[in-house]
Structure 1
């Protein structure tokens, strides 16, 4: 039977479990880089440090400067039973004490219940479905104290170990900004950059422009429908400043290339474009689902990690480079024993 282009099975592949990176590389820029040429379909594998060889004076890297916080909280119900609160985001930016959280197990908890974290408590206000609850803290100092003392780095489910103190640093990019704290998953394409590598790029005339998208747990949500067109992505908060918009437009006007670092940067840029293809300042929820047929107007190249089978992120990179080209590159990466997912290796799609 001939499969339709929207068949999710076309985005599936078999990955040996040992290729799922459980820890980061010893040094960020010692990870490997697969370079995929969209014109020739050719690939080559280099050290990530060689990224500088593919960028030219006047080009710009657009990075996501969001910062991951310790979103996984383990407390106890009044009965003494253990419960996990996975903080997703505030209900509204101007309501910092009211949060949406994934509660596990969620079937036995009740509205109004107080979850104990040492001497302090968090209230479960309302069940909003799908294991998600509205929860509230008593004050900002209490909230910060609970997150600091009881919070854990929200490592993805495919990393089969407890978080370690080193993850506080390594499950974070070097351009993460404390002012932009709010992500519960990292923009992992940025993991491979070091300060020294950024200095090399700067000396070459490559600029760095930051946007912010607070990555939510939906980034790991599998596509569970047979037809990819029926999938819905979860909204995430994003901001693109007037300064960033102006810088990007200037780079493009002067003939420089826009290199998006990660799928979150892509989705932010594509959400902030005008009908004329200019980038405008933006602040709001992003629920853009990029799939084959999408016309990319804001980026020239993409740096990204290797993504999960049947995921919206794999669909996004397939929309940019072509599904067959991407799946062939993934097969090659497996043969080359490259490391996959968050702590794994990277691709440059150009």
Structure 2
């Protein structure tokens, strides 16, 4: 169903209604994209491709105004260009010419002066046009469709450079409704790039959800070494709406993205909808530390493991790095682990207290 256009006096463009889960998605995207630009853009030109641009502006039930991912990316790019001399090109793809015209009105209204190329085409053809001109430029792809008519072959093209990354919206709720419908079998084959999904349709409830998103993550891991899914619930019911899935070639990207998500979700690596704010921060921290401690000892009892490996494995199992650090600090204080710090001393000759990537964690019996 098409989004209803809403108009506000004084604004020469239309808006779509925004829900809380979209606000969260946009906050996380903006937080992470800004860091990507600052880090990758320090030594490289960058391209940003918004594969499903949308109309660019939103309004909530209180008449508060929000801007969509193409405009947020433009704000971030312009600030980094002006302050840090970053080199960024922005491309927005959409099949709806009216959406692109609306975006152009927003760009002019907000005095965005950096070049933004609006491409009236489907996501595959539009992206291909950009890659033909910039085949090896590090590129950040936002792939945020309304449904799940995506082609796995397309994701392979996003690995055009080892610094390229993707955020894709995996529309589980829509897929779950249609996975047993015979006439869309080929659509799902295209999404996964395999027919392995067929055994999923006979599963029920959480088992089906786990298998459906797990297979998609597994397929993306054949393209990007580090892939992490972030569950997004409906804002008004405790049920999965979709997953934001991030793919990167570097553990640093995985860690920064998970921290960005946790920052806007009370330390969680999921948006819980109506349950989002039910626990106090203190209760949540105590609960998380206990939960992570049990997870770590189940996995690493009597083993020696680097802190970096622990963090990567913990993130992929849904635990934010900040809570992993707090858990390890408590376990060390309680004498349940030993931390071999490498190096042992700071450059000033002081004994180190924090935990760094190369430190070794020794889990006791």
Superposed pair shares fold, TM > 0.5: no
The structure whose residues are more often helix, as a share, is 2
TM-score by length of 1: 0.28
Greater Rg over alpha carbons, structure: 2
The structure whose residues are more often strand, as a share, is 1
TM-score by length of 2: 0.27
